[in-house]
Amino acid sequence: MSLGPEASIVDETTPPTADAAEVRGPGEKAIAGRSLKQIAWRRLKKDKVAIGGACVVIFLILIAILAPLLTKLFGHPIDEWHPDQVDPTFATPIHPWGGITKDFLLGVEPTTGRDIFSRIVYGAQTSLTVAFLSAFLSTILGVLFGTAAGFLGGWVDSVISRIMDFLLAFPQLLFSIALVSVLPQEFLGLGGRWSRVSVLVLVIGFFGWPYIGRIVRGQTLSLREREFVEAARSMGARSPRILFRELLPNLAAPILVYTTLIIPTNILTEAALSFLGVGIPPPNPSWGGMLSDAVTFYQIDPMFMIIPGGMIFITVLAFNLFGDGLRDALDPKAR
C-alpha cells in the first residue's frame, strides 16, 4: 500500500495517539521546522544594531503621537514668546547652552524665546507624518504599476516603463517648490499646517513611486517564469489568482524593505523643502524650518542649529539601520 505525503512509518506496537516525545529515544531531539517569518525574526533579533534602530524609531513615533501631552507636561505652547529668556541687546538666550534650564529642557529660540522642546516634539509629528504617508502612497502606486508592468508585459510594460523614466528624470525638488509656492495656505478644507502636509505627501509620494516601481517590476519579471507560477497556470489558475496568491506574497519582503528605506529619504525631502521656505508654513514647527531660522544665529547660538540637525540625523540613521537589518533578515540567500 502506498503512503501519502502526510503519512509516516510508526512501529505497530506504538499506540496511534502516542506523543512524538514518547516515540523518540531518551537522547534524541525533535527537529522542528521553521517558517520564513520565524527565520527572519531570528536573524533580526541577532542584529543588535538593527534592533537598536527599531527601538529609536518606536521611541520617535511615540514622541510624535504624544506630542500634545509632552508639551503640556514638560514644555510650553509652540508659539508662545518668552522675552524674559532672551537678552534684549544681543537677542540670544540669557542662560548658557542655548537657554537650557529645568523649565526649558532644550533651550529657547533667539529673539522670540519660544520653547525648542515643544517645537522639536511637534516637528517630529510633522516630519514623521509626511514621511510615513508619502512612503505609503509611493508603495501603493509602485506596487500597482510595477506588478502590472512586470506581469502583463508587452505595450503595458513599455508605457509604464517610459512613464517611470520620465518621472525619474524630472526635477522633483524644483517642481515641488513651484507647486507648493502657488498653492493657497488652506487646502482641501484643512488648516495651514495640515493642508501643507497633505500637499507634501501628494508631491513626495507621487514622485517617489517610480523607485519602488522599478524594483517590483524587476522582481515580477523574475517570479512570473518560476515553477510555482507555471504550476498554478497548468492547474487552471487565472491571472488575478496568480497575481494575488502567488506573486504578491513573494514580493512582500522587498516591498517592506524598500518602504523602510524610503522613509528617511522622505524626511530629508520634507526638511529640505521647509529649509527653503516652501514646506510647513510658520509659525508651525518643522525641523527643516528650525534649521533655516538657525542660519542667522549659528555663530552666537550653535545649540539652536545642533538640536534640530541632530534630530534629523538620529531619525534618518535609525531608519537606515533598521532597514538594512530588515533587508539582511529577509534575504533568503543570507546565511
Counting as low any pLDDT under 70, the low residues of the chain are: 1-36, 184-192, 332-335
User: pTM score > 0.85 for this model?
Assistant: no
Per DSSP, 281 falls in state P
Q: Are 305 and 294 in contact (CB under 8 A)?
A: yes
Q: Please, which residues have CB within 8 angstroms of residue 162's CB and are 6 or more apart in sequence?
A: none
Nearest to 259 by CA among 314, 216, 219: 216
Alpha helices in the chain (DSSP H): 20-23, 36-46, 48-65, 67-74, 96-99, 116-152, 154-169, 172-182, 192-223, 227-234, 239-241, 248-275, 287-294, 303-330
pLDDT at residue 179 in the model: 79
pLDDT at residue 14 in the model: 42
* C-alpha dist (Å) from residue 167 to 240, 243, 249, 298, 304: 28, 26, 27, 37, 37
pLDDT at residue 243 in the model: 79
pLDDT at residue 200 in the model: 87
pLDDT at residue 189 in the model: 64
Following CA atoms 193, 198, 204, 205 in sequence, which dihedral angle do they give, to the nearest 10 degrees?
Answer: 150
